[in-house]
A and B are shown apart, each in its own frame.
Chain A
Amino acid sequence: MLTTIKKDKHMKKIILLAIVLFLGASTNAQDKYFTKNGTITFDATTSTSPEKVAAINKSVTCVLDSKTGNTQFSVLMKGFEFEQALMREHFHENYLESDKFPKALFKGQIINSSQLNYSKNGSYDVTVKGQLTMHGQTKDVEANGKLSVNDGKISISSKFAVLLNDYGIEVPRLVSDKVAKSASIKVDCILQVLGN
């Protein structure tokens, strides 16, 4: 009789372990979210500029690990589209030197990630802290934003300012009445679960 009880306990442990492992394995697939169609716009228009000094990139790659709050954005600089051809040429050839530095990268973490419930619809104010590498320079960046969970998709939006000088982006004095020293960066991404 004793041996049967011992066997039962053993079986129960195995079953419990199997359930935990199974759950663990299936939640792992739900941990990472990504997009390859994120949008980032930058705007460096001064108040005295007759035209908009702005560009949009619609092919931003973003990955978010909901378990750790780690997030990464990858931006191909040549993907920034300008309305005016000359502005595009100046920015890519002279200021951003996109041929030399074709990719910008942000690696950071959502600070309050552990307080967010990624499995339920909701909207949260978040702060992201990390490092932005652009034009060959890496600087610390902290930005506020909003994270919303909507039927399994995560949308991230944020607006922050970047000092062009910090990244060695030199704007000639000739156009300093049009191009601002500080560019406003707007990020909008909707992420889906990796593995689906």
Chain B
Amino acid sequence: MVLIVLATGVYFYVNRKTQSLNSTKADFEISAIKFLEEYSSDQALSDKKFLGKIIQVDGNLKDIEKNEEGFLTFVIGDLTSVSSVRCSIDTTVVIDESEYPVGTAITLKGECTGFNSDELGLGADIVLSRSVIIPN
């Protein structure tokens, strides 16, 4: 009997699907501007601190990008800066983009996948994956 329970437990542990972050508590809560400042000043230290962690980030919505496969990215940060926090939206979550006008304040939660320094004059980016929108 115990073996069956154990076996079931192991089965579910091994086969668990990646959950959406809606029910996961953030490791850090930070503004997009401060997040970019920290990463820009010391990337190695910031990677140690943030890489793989769940970050709740707030800022102004600069743009909503959709790639050819329909994957959405919410670009947030300071409207006057070229650097941004790019939040790749969790594909299991359905979003109505029209609910989020560009220029308004927004908060998202995602997993930090790292930093792209400014190489092309396009600004530096922090990229969050599996992002979900935190309702106001």
Q: Which of B15, B67, B111, B125 has its CB near the most chain A CB atoms (within 10 A)?
A: B67
Interface residues on A, range: 20 to 34
Q: Do residues B127 and A59 form an inter-chain contact, with CB atoms below 8 A? A: yes
Considering the chains assembled together, what is the distance between the CA atoms of A74 and B115 in angstroms? Answer: 11
User: Closest chain A residue to B69 by CB distance?
Assistant: A39
Is A98's beta carbon under 8 Å from chain B? yes
Q: What are the residues of chain A within 8 A of B51 when measuring CB–CB?
A: 78, 98-99, 102
Residues of B102-136 at the interface with A, using a CB-CB cut-off of 8 Å, are 111-114, 116, 119-120, 122, 125, 127, 129-130
Closest approach, in angstroms, between the C-beta of A153 and any C-beta of chain B? 10
Q: Do residues B16 and A78 form an inter-chain contact, with CB atoms below 8 A? A: no
Q: Do residues A81 and B18 form an inter-chain contact, with CB atoms below 8 A? A: yes
**CB contact between B73 and one of A37, A77, A85, A92 (< 8 Å): that residue:** A37
Q: What are the residues of chain A within 8 A of B17 when measuring CB–CB?
A: 83-85
**CB contact between A59 and one of B15, B18, B73 (< 8 Å): that residue:** B73
Closest approach, in angstroms, between the C-beta of A105 and any C-beta of chain B? 11
Q: Do residues A59 and B122 form an inter-chain contact, with CB atoms below 8 A? A: no
Closest approach, in angstroms, between the C-beta of B92 and any C-beta of chain A? 10
Is A63's beta carbon under 8 Å from chain B? yes
Q: Which 4 A-B residue pairings sit nearest by Cβ, starting from the closest?
A: A78-B113, A37-B67, A76-B114, A79-B113
